[in-house]
Amino acid sequence: MEIFYWKSPDGNVGDDLNPWLWPRVFEREFLDRAAGRRFFGIGSVLDERVFCQPHPNGATVFGAGMRGPMGPLPRRPDVDIRFVRGPLSSAALSAMGWGEIEYISDPAVLTPLYTAVSPITSARKISPETAEQPPSTQRPLSLFIPYFDTPAKVVDRVCRDTGLHPLPITSDVDQFIATLRTAEKVVTEAMHGAILADAFRIPWAPCRISSGLTEGRTSQFKWDDWRRSLGLEPTSIVGTLPEGVIERVPHRYLRRLRTLATMRASATVARVLRQDRWHLSRDSALKTAQDRILEHAHRLARTGDAPYPATARRP
């Protein structure tokens, strides 16, 4: 199986979870015997890379999400969509002419099942005896998880001004998880910071510094898609710039907007902390999503691309 995901030169946990997670979910024999078939799992990769490029050995979509609505495209027999990230991705595919597509949630919600911590256990209750943690992170922390494109000097200033501890989304996956599990609460600009915090039952609050400038409307689409998948009502994200301003400002002014956004970063995160509105999906919603994704994994391994029956690994 060729696991397809966006590879940032600096690393990005949300994408780098793909080679970390899927070999833990699927037996090696299945991944090897499905060699050549493309697998689109975690990430907003449902775009021209899936719908407009040839897949000589076929492609399987297993929880990936759209980046936003696209124009009509004929359904392709070489693309097997098992499920997508959320209801907005499903609706966008339906509008493209792909019919009714099941949605569950972002597959990153499986991550706690393949670590040493229960998915419905608060990270605040983990002791050094039950989890390997760096000595400097064994007390509960309040973390700030920036978007991968937010400059390091801005992150340093935010943490200095607010007292939060930085957790770069560009960290190694295992290092990121180990630090996240020590957290009491998380302010996150990175969507997978929220997804993983929620999966580990750590209250989180979103913010937006540079992600809106980098992604435009895609940022809001992705967040709403995932939040709705777990029954979380989409709410406005506290940001450095007014909502919709990026779409209204001529492109030549984007550089100035980015400078303004970074100047307001500390004030924005401080406003999130003052509001004291933390989010967490229901335990039952998370467990249902995890169970449904694992059921799809078993079904794919049994009847999908393997030449003989295989199984997905239960945690």
Q: What does the pLDDT look like over 1-49, one tens digit per residue?
A: 899 999 999 999 999 999 999 999 998 888 888 888 999 999 999 998 8
80 lies in the same domain as 8:
yes
Please indicate, yes or no, if residue 311 is contained in any of the structural domains: no
270 lies in the same domain as 124:
yes
Please indicate, yes or no, if residue 309 is contained in any of the structural domains: no
Strand partners, 40: 4, 61
The tens digit of pLDDT for each residue in 40-75 reads 999 999 998 899 899 999 999 999 999 999 888 888
Please indicate, yes or no, if residue 197 is contained in any of the structural domains: yes
92 lies in the same domain as 129:
no
If one counts the domains in the chain, the total is 2
Please indicate, yes or no, if residue 97 is contained in any of the structural domains: yes
13 lies in the same domain as 81:
yes
Alpha-carbon dihedral angle through residues 142, 238, 13, 177, given to the nearest 10 degrees: 20
Please indicate, yes or no, if residue 217 is contained in any of the structural domains: yes
- Domain limits for position 45: 2-108+285-303
Sign of CA dihedral 139, 144, 150, 154: negative
165 lies in the same domain as 257:
yes
pLDDT band at 251 (very low <50, low <70, confident <90, very high): low
Please indicate, yes or no, if residue 121 is contained in any of the structural domains: yes
pLDDT band at 241 (very low <50, low <70, confident <90, very high): confident
Is 254 a residue whose pLDDT tops 50? yes
pLDDT for res 86:
98
Give percent above pLDDT 90 in the chain. 66
Q: Annotate 118-185 with DSSP letters as a single string.
A: -TTS-GGG--TTTS---GGG-S-EEEEE--TTS-HHHHHHHHHHH-PEE--TTS-HHHHHHHHTTEEE
- Please report which residue ranges of the chain form alpha helices under DSSP H: 13-25, 28-33, 48-51, 87-93, 152-162, 173-180, 191-199, 211-215, 217-229, 245-248, 254-263, 265-275, 283-303
155 lies in the same domain as 52:
no
Lowest mean pLDDT segment, chosen from 115-119, 153-157, 174-178, 181-185: 115-119
pLDDT band at 133 (very low <50, low <70, confident <90, very high): very low
> Residues, the chain, total?
315
120 lies in the same domain as 234:
yes
Distance CA 236, CA 271 (A): 13
Please indicate, yes or no, if residue 308 is contained in any of the structural domains: no
40 lies in the same domain as 180:
no
17 lies in the same domain as 57:
yes
Of residues 167 and 49, which shows the higher confidence score? 167
166 lies in the same domain as 237:
yes
Which residue do the tokens 């995890």 mark?
290
Distance CA 195, CA 197 (A): 6
116 lies in the same domain as 89:
no
Q: Counting Cβ atoms within 10 Å, is residue 301 exposed (0-12), middle (13-18) or buried (19+)?
A: buried
Looking at residues 160-172, what average pLDDT do you find? 97
265 lies in the same domain as 117:
yes
Please indicate, yes or no, if residue 14 is contained in any of the structural domains: yes
Give percent above pLDDT 70 in the chain. 85
Is 313 a residue whose pLDDT tops 70? no
pLDDT for res 162:
98
Is 121 a residue whose pLDDT tops 80? no
